[in-house]
């Protein structure tokens, strides 16, 4: 049986770590993509998008660490977006590199999804525990 009480005090570091893995995977994906895609104005937009995505994902990781359920849903949106990007891989990237980039997108999407599902589940149970046990909110004050 899971001891939910510990989530009142311990951080949700597993979600955070999965989201950090997402950031790492996405950075590698970006590097590979940039090295193999054609140099045009879309590449500039792609780089900017990934910089913002990395910064945003870091924020998501921090919020999920403290059991913010809404940020779990943001994480799911990022995971879905990562899957959508599978359709945007340029045609000039072919062969093994295409496979690596696709794999990176799938894996990073999985990491973001796992992190977010864990966060939502734990945040839910934590909230339920607080209500059921009438936990004084002063207890949760930092």
Partner 1 sequence: MANLRLKNVNKTFPGEVQAVNDFNIEIKHGEFIVLVGPSGCGKTTVLRMIAGLETTTEGEMYLEDILLNDVAPADRDISMVFQNYALYGHMTAYQNMGFSQTIRHEKPDFIHEKVMEAAVVVELEDKLNRYPKNLSGGQRQRVALGRAIVNKASIILMDEPLSNLDAKLRVQARGELIKLHKQLGNTFIYVTHDQTEAMTMADRIVVMNNGEIQQIGTPIEVYNWPENVFVGGFIGSPPMNFIEGTVEGDMFTAPGLALTIPEKYLAHISSYQNESILLGIRPEHFSIQSGSSNKPVTAEISIKEFIGNHSLVYLQIAGMGYIANVKQKISQSIGDSLEVYFNMNRVYFFDPESGKRIHHEESKL
Contact residues: partner 1, CB under 8 A? 3, 5-6, 8-10, 136, 138-142
Q: Given the complex with partner 1, which of 104 and 119 has the nearer CB atom?
A: 119
Counting Cα atoms < 13 Å in the Cβ hemisphere of 36 gives 19
Q: Given the complex with partner 1, which of 103 and 121 has the nearer CB atom?
A: 121
CB of 25 to partner 1, least distance (A): 25
Give residue 90's region: left, alpha or beta (phi > 0; psi -120 to 50): beta
Q: How far apart are CA 58 and CA 55, in angstroms?
A: 5
CB of 139 to partner 1, least distance (A): 5
CB of 4 to partner 1, least distance (A): 10
The radius of gyration of the chain from alpha carbons, rounded to an integer in Å, stands at 18
Residue 64 · residue 72 · CB < 8 Å: yes
Q: Given the complex with partner 1, which of 134 and 142 has the nearer CB atom?
A: 142
CB of 140 to partner 1, least distance (A): 6
Q: Given the complex with partner 1, which of 91 and 136 has the nearer CB atom?
A: 136
Cα-flanking dihedrals φ and ψ of residue 119, to 5°?
Answer: -60, -45
- Sign of the CA dihedral running 119, 120, 123, 128: negative
């Amino acid at each position: 049986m899971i001891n939910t009480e510990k989530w009142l005090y311990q951080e949700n570091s597993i979600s955070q770590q999965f989201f950090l893995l997402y950031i790492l995977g996405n950075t590698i994906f970006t590097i590979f993509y940039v090295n193999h895609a054609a140099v045009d104005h879309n590449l500039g937009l792609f780089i900017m998008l990934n910089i913002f995505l990395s910064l945003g994902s870091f924020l998501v990781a921090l919020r999920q660490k403290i059991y913010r359920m809404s940020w779990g849903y943001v994480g799911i949106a990022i995971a879905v977006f990562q899957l959508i990007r599978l359709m945007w891989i340029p045609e000039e990237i072919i062969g093994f590199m295409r496979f690596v980039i696709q794999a990176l997108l799938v894996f990073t999407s999985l990491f973001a999804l796992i992190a977010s599902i864990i966060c939502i589940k734990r945040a839910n149970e934590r909230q339920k525990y607080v209500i059921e046990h009438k936990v004084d909110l002063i207890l949760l004050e930092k």
